[in-house]
Structure 1
Amino acid sequence: MLAVVLVGRPNVGKSTLFNKITGHRRAIVAPVAGTTRDSLARPAVWQGRSFQLFDTGGLYGASEDPLHELVVEHGKRAIVGADLLVLVVDGRDGLVSGDETIARELREAGRPLILAINKIDDKRARHATMDFYRLGIEPVVEISAEHGTGVGDLLDEIVSALRIHPDESQTPNPESHSEISVAIVGRPNVGKSSLVNRLLRAERVLVSDMPGTTRDAIDTVLTWHQRRFRIVDTAGMRRPGRVRTGGAVELVSVAGAKRAI
């Protein structure tokens, strides 16, 4: 299945767009820059055409995340494996140096590229959108990921750029009954992500010594002796009283882990 990767600075709305397109609230959305860490993957379908959509952590720009360098490294790895890149920018902020840096690196990747100007429903974006055309990226689509405005137009551009025909994109449902789901669950920092990477024989999920590294529930398909397993790495779960005092991101992370269970 062809891979479409959402790329952009922290907090420009990539995760909101990911959730809108895939129809699942898999990516955590919060006003804290740097909320997304791992690259999330989810199948998406538009007008009978299927592709795999990836949400990445924010590249460059301001981030409060102490693991930002690792997040950027994983994001760049996703870019290398992409068939199509969607650069998401924040229309309210206007064109900033971080957008220009990312656009330059994406052009060097040599992949087809679409520019999505997000948050155009905000009055501040109406005067700034023209600045983004200076990036020299075509096509340009103005969207509001939160309200769905323009998302259909973006999807039209995606399937057009991928040149997918309906009969070519039909693939087995990744959540079919022939697939066994395995959730890796435990307290923070006990080695869940390291175990998942060892099972997959790849650096699929972020690993560090800092408790709470994993935030989203990351699922990946593993084939072993002709059987399909969906391995789900979950956020570490502390006692309920500690979770309540850990902030909004931890609350949503633990809720996602419970859904995976």
Structure 2
Amino acid sequence: MFESRPDRSDEVIFVGRSNVGKSTLMREITGHTFDTGSKPGVTRSPNHYDWASDDFVLSDLPGFGFMSGVPEEQREQIKTDIVRYIEDNADDILVGVLVVDGKSAVDIIDRHSGEDEIPYDVEMFYFLRDVGIPVVVAVNKMDKVDDEDERLDELCDRLGLHPPWKQWQDTIAPISAKRGNIDALNEAVKEHLHEAKRDDLLKFFS
């Protein structure tokens, strides 16, 4: 299922739990509607969006974490597939966008933080960094959050980044995909593309 990657040299990937709004975000960035299926966990293989003229692909990887009606074994398999995909393609991935739900991310992380448990989102954040991929955390659904700065500071704290969040604007990007407000994400991604000397790709994130 994961072998269908288009033959493109450079890639930006989107990862995140189910139901954080990745598909809405992809639609906002690409102007293209993906067939996502109505139930969480329906997207089992990556959706690749490649622009024909450029050596570049955007990949929306399947949602991970708890999914209602999906057995744990299958959830673990999806996570394993995602990790393997990222490891296999790490040298070609220019940016990894980790999409989280601004309203619930901190609570979910706290709920799954224990002696022998690392929350998926934190684990994925560090995994991407460990394999050398610059990470941007797209904090979605911020239109539903009352105190934006406080929430983003808390999220930074959970990810091991020292608050205030505003010093991490190349890493933390508050957005509301449904409302079309994704400027912070575009700016952060563009900064990493520029550092990777791929200014030719900036036009996709404008």
* Bin for the TM-score computed over the shorter chain: 0.5 to 0.7
Partners of 2:190 and 2:202 within 8 A in 1: no
SS in 2 for 1:110: coil
CA distance in 2, matches of 1:125, 1:56: 30
User: Residue 28 of structure 2 corresponds to which residue in structure 1?
Assistant: 20
Calculate the TM-score normalised by the size of structure 1: 0.55
CA distance in 2, matches of 1:130, 1:103: 16
Say which structure is richer in helix.
2
SS in 1 for 2:179: coil
Sequence identity (%): 30
The CA deviation string for residues 14-42 of structure 1, in whole angstroms up to 9 with x for no partner, is: 12211211111114164x43232111110
Calculate the TM-score normalised by the size of structure 2: 0.68
Q: Which runs of 5+ in 2 are unaligned?
A: 1-8, 110-118, 162-167
User: Residue 54 of structure 1 corresponds to which residue in structure 2?
Assistant: 59
User: Residue 147 of structure 1 corresponds to which residue in structure 2?
Assistant: 179
Q: Which runs of 5+ in 1 are unaligned?
A: 171-261
The Cα shift of 1:116 comes to 0.9
SS in 2 for 1:73: helix
SS in 2 for 1:121: helix
CA distance in 1, matches of 2:202, 2:103: 36
The CA deviation string for residues 118-174 of structure 1, in whole angstroms up to 9 with x for no partner, is: 10011367353321112127421100111111x1331232132122223x789xxxx
How many residue pairs get matched?
Answer: 164
Matches within 5 A, 1:88-167: 88-95=99-106, 96=109, 97-123=119-145, 126=148, 128-134=151-157, 135=159, 136=161, 138-149=170-181, 151-163=182-194, 164-166=198-200
Letter in 2 for 1:165: D
Q: Which of 76, 84, 92 is 2:95 aligned to?
A: 84
SS in 1 for 2:97: strand
The CA deviation string for residues 98-129 of structure 1, in whole angstroms up to 9 with x for no partner, is: 32222222222221111110100113673533
Q: Which of 6, 12, 29 is 1:4 aligned to?
A: 12
CA distance in 1, matches of 2:55, 2:174: 22
Matches within 5 A, 1:33-52: 33-43=40-50, 51-52=56-57
Partners of 2:125 and 2:135 within 8 A in 1: no
CA distance in 1, matches of 2:66, 2:80: 16
Letter in 1 for 2:156: Y
- Runs of at least 4 residues of structure 1 off by over 4 A? none
Partners of 1:92 and 1:122 within 8 A in 2: yes
